[in-house]
Amino acid sequence: MVKCHCVGVDVGAKELVVSIDRNGERERGLVFSNSADGHRKLIRWATRKGAVARVVLESTGVYGLDLAFALHRAKRVEVMVANPRAVAAFAKAALRRSKTDALDAETILEFSLRMPFVPWAAPTRSILELRGLSRRIEAMSKSVAQEKNRLHANEQSEALSDFVRQDIREWVELLEGRVDRLRKQALLVIDQIPELARSFGHLTSIKGIANAAAIQLLAELGTLPADMTVRQWVAHAGLDPRQFQSGTSVHKPARISKTGNAHLRRALFLPAMVAARWEPNVKAFYEKLLGRGKTKMQALVAVMRKLLHAIYGMLRHDQDFKGEKFFAVKP
């Protein structure tokens, strides 16, 4: 019978703090370097004597990405990249009062033993590059907006420095140039992969989704496992309804959970606004919701959710947007 070892890893910038369960025998607080050599040592240690290792780490940033790929490639190793919120909620339920790297590794190990193990679906290098470019574009675009607001505020008073205003204008121009350069590189990555290029074309067939939004959507959706359902997509975006009821007296209005990928949710917002104005079938759906007493924001969120459903179908069936499938307009 093949032994199965469960491993919890707390990932840091320089070190990996590890706890392991070898059929009931625990080893805690072991430290490996967060480097290629450290990853190899961790794999050899976890799989010694021919054992299979189930390794769980948190999805908390780029520091664990190379480790996840190394574990994914290794023989006799299964890897799960857990949602940090789920691990944090588990620690809270276990009444963990202190927080150290060793305790975090122990918590992740306990999580791996008691919760369903979901193997990590490793994204391709191209998708990871596209996501990195997309999130950099998002961050730079936010900086551009902040600087433009700062410039507008400075232009309201003649008493403020002309030199500062000119510096802000030059900085905005520089930032916009960087955003344009990043966007061109993202389009180049997409053009090099035929599947991505087809998906990009399908996304831009929706009025409201131009190149900028299509890059964001493709980058965030491309990292998701192929076997996810559309309901899981919606939950991943944090657009699923959150009920709040208790007994007969507490019955709050349902709201979206926002427990999910904020980048994907933001990428859907502006396309939904534009489509609700210019795409006839989307506009009809939006106006129907307003006619039923929904607020503008409620109706817009419903459009975001339905657009995500439409995108799921388009990418699964390799076809462009069809308005009548989104919402049939009666004569």
pLDDT tens figures, 54-67: 999 998 778 888 99
Contact criterion met (CB below 8 Å) for 96 and 107: yes
Q: What is the DSSP letter of 208?
A: T
What is the rounded distance in angstroms from the CA atom of residue 188 to the CA atom of residue 148?
Answer: 28
At 271 the pLDDT is 95
Residues 109-129, mean pLDDT to the nearest whole number: 92
Cα–Cα distances (Å) from 174 to 141, 144, 179, 213, in that order, read 12, 9, 9, 22
Express as a percent the part of the chain with pLDDT over 70: 95
273-287 CB burial, b ≥16 within 10 A, e <16: bbbbeebebbbbbbe
pLDDT at 247 over 70: no
pLDDT at 104 over 70: yes
What is the rounded distance in angstroms from the CA atom of residue 145 to the CA atom of residue 161?
Answer: 21
| Mean model confidence pLDDT for the chain | 90
Structure tokens at 255: 């709201």
At 83 the pLDDT is 87
Nearest Cα to Cα of residue 106 among 33, 161, 28: 28
